[in-house]
Amino acid sequence: MLGVHYLLYWLVLTFLTCPLAVLGFSQPPRPWQSSIVTTHSLLGSTNLDTTTPPINRELCTPTTTTSPPEIQQALQSLASTTLALLSGDEDAASSLAGGASQKKHIVTQVFQAYDVCESGTLSVDEARTLFADLARSMVLELSKGKSGDGDDDKEIKAAQAHARRVLADDEAGNTIQRVARKLLLMADADGDGKINLQELAQLFETVFEANLGTTPVENGDGPTSDTTAKHRVHSGQFPQHLRALAGSLQLLPPRERAIASEAAERSALWNMGVPGDDHTLRRVILEDGDGFSNRKKKDESNTLSLIGLGRSADASAYFLPELGIALDAGLHVSSLSPRTVLLTHGHRDHIGALPVHASHDALLLVPEPIKKLVHNFLVAEAQLNYGDANQTEEQTLDALGGFNVVGTTDGARVMLPKDKYTGSPTPIGVKVISAPHKEGVPANSYGIFRQKQRLKEEYQGLSKTELGAILRTKRSEGGDEITITEYYDEGILFYTGDTQITLLRERWKEICPVYRYIIHEVTFLGPPSSALDNSVQAKGHTHYAQLHPWICAFPNTVFICVHWSLRYSREDVLEFFEKNYGGVPSNVVLWL
């Protein structure tokens, strides 16, 4: 069985440098071309166990007797080739000498070495063993890094630190098994958990084609009608399943990189130019067709933008001026008067301007456990502001007319009154998810959505004439009134507030596939390590390496990274990404 791994290396190289047709393999349908591979599967939520069960060798006799050093060498070579392609090193990946027939022979030998039951197809157990071995070899290879300390080494520093941490003390969630599952899912074209020779060969050609920039050919019907298509950051991007694999290894494929300074420029300097507004804010245009470029003036009425300021322990305040909604209240801008404020927690850098918004009769959604404290804070601030130390709380509330404070809990779905938002012809609502922050500090995250209508599934595809006939028939029969439409929620933007990566690890299905824009805190930077994980968790925050796999797994979602610690200058942040990743993922905005 160990000899198989040596063959695996040549197997990969064969298909990385030569099309399957040349080698004599027929190509099975690719699931990512005929249908999108679900992100749920890519993140490892499958029916596969998290451990690799042993093969029943009492029933199966190995077909080869290869010494362990040979299989180790083969796996290392295979891992090196796959990683070279993910990092864009085509020369290294194409360095194998030999003709197509020799390569095909080696591919077949590798396959047969893992096919210990000699069935012609790798069983579920055999396939798991193969990809678990390959995944561990990839992590081992990454832990060694590249030779030298030159510029060529900068792109894998984060991956190298991550791999060393994994080998020393694998994080909760078992990184090696996650990588193995993703490799298996990519190879398993028919989804049965078993792998045949063609599927194994196709896996490596897919990596090769992605590295060359090969993309599926579109049909002749023009642009896709997929509603998410217009929100993609760019076309011809790396396949999602490979991005997810790279993200788990803290890698960033070259085709998916953006220059860090350009990602920072997406949040452009913005000044209201109104007397009294002495803060220079930042602005990101969201709803403009591609997420980043400026709209023409005539289209400004349809723009959805994000304006604000966000630094850890300084001020966190973000405004959606077209919707009249504010995310936290760490800063007052006199020209921006939100109708609704979503308060994540009670720290002063998030709550300082809340009394101003409350005095303008804004709806304040706050975590239920701090509702009373928020009320007391607003009363005390009003009494201080008006300067009457003898005034009672009742007198203050009578004078101000009270405060519109609503406590919210995990899972709440709040439809905003029509006078508490602006600019949207469809109803706007908010979904609440409890956010893990510091112990003893209640915190919420918020998702903003539009409530829309669509035909029920059984009526979709019918013409207006057919729908009219159905309605007339029901009415003539005197039956109950038929409803052919249903409401659904269209996610717009999700705001995490201050939180740990646990939020995504436990609740990602409610967030990542649902919202087109995610504002996520990234307070700290540094190479991945258990020490950094523990330190950041104790502070109730997130560091970038923890978020990187999620960014890579959801390429059609724009992640706006905010809340950087004041210890980092703009130059520090940009240098971190260039030094550790060679850039930033193309679907990231750096709020700097």
**Domain extents in the chain:** 2-217, 260-590
Query: Average of pLDDT values for 204-212?
Result: 70
**549 is written with which tokens?**
């796999």
Strand runs labelled E in 397-551: 405-408, 413-415, 428-434, 444-455, 485-495, 517-521
Task: Tell me what the mean pLDDT of segment 220-232 comes to.
Answer: 34
pLDDT of 563 strictly over 50:
yes
Phi-psi region of 273 (alpha: psi -120 to 50; beta: other; left: phi over 0): left
Q: Which amino acid is at 580?
A: N
Residue 358 has pLDDT above 80, yes or no: yes
Percentage of residues in the chain with pLDDT exceeding 90? 37
Q: Which of 108-112, 287-291, 333-337, 478-482 has the highest mean pLDDT?
A: 333-337
Give the total residue count for the chain: 592
Which pLDDT band holds residue 210 (cuts at 50, 70, 90)?
confident
Confidence of residue 33 (pLDDT cuts 50, 70, 90): very low
Whole-angstrom CA distances from 357 to 255, 319, 449 are 44, 12, 22
Residue 134, Cβ density class (10 Å: 0-12 exposed, 13-18 middle, ≥19 buried): buried
pLDDT of residue 73 exceeding 80, the answer is no
Cβ neighbours around 146 below 10 Å, total: 16
The first and second tokens of residue 432, run together, are 């609440």
Cα torsion 449, 451, 457, 461: sign: negative
Which residues lie below 8 Å from residue 8, measured CB to CB, with a gap of 6+? 74, 75, 78, 110, 130, 134
Give the pLDDT of residue 280: 61
Predicted confidence (pLDDT) at residue 369 exceeds the cutoff of 80: yes
Residue 266 has pLDDT above 50, yes or no: yes
Q: Are the C-beta atoms of residues 111 and 4 closer than 8 Å to each other?
A: yes
pLDDT at 589 over 50: yes
pLDDT band at 436 (very low <50, low <70, confident <90, very high): very high
Of residues 160, 289, 277, 190, the one with CA closest to residue 234: 289
Confidence band of 398 (pLDDT split at 50, 70, 90): confident
- pLDDT of 88 above 50: yes
| pLDDT computed for residue 65 by the predictor | 43
Mean pLDDT of the chain: 77
Residue 85 near residue 5, CB atoms below 8 Å: no
Cβ neighbours around 316 below 10 Å, total: 28
Q: Whole-prediction pTM value? A: 0.77
pLDDT band at 269 (very low <50, low <70, confident <90, very high): low
- Asked whether 378 and 358 are in contact (CB, 8 A), the reply is yes
Helix (H, G, I), strand (E, B) or coil at 98: coil
Choice between 567 and 231, residue whose per-residue pLDDT is larger: 567
Residues 404-430: tens digit of each pLDDT: 999 999 999 999 999 999 988 899 999
Does pLDDT of 498 surpass 80? yes
pLDDT at 513 over 60: yes
- Report the pLDDT value the prediction gives residue 70, as an integer from 0 to 100: 65
pLDDT the model gives residue 76: 73
Q: Say which residues have a Cβ less than 8 Å from residue 13's Cβ, sequence separation at least 6.
A: 77, 81, 93, 94, 95, 96, 103, 204
**In the CATH scheme, what architecture does the domain 260-590 have?**
4-Layer Sandwich (3.60)
**Which of 67-76, 89-98, 279-288, 309-318 tops mean pLDDT?**
309-318
Across the range 450-457, mean pLDDT stands at 93
Buried residues in 60-83 as b, exposed as e (16+ CB within 10 A): bebbbebeeebbbebbbbbbbbbb
Is 523's pLDDT higher than 90?
yes
Lowest mean pLDDT among 267-281, 385-399, 462-476: 267-281
Cα separation of 580 and 396, whole Å? 55
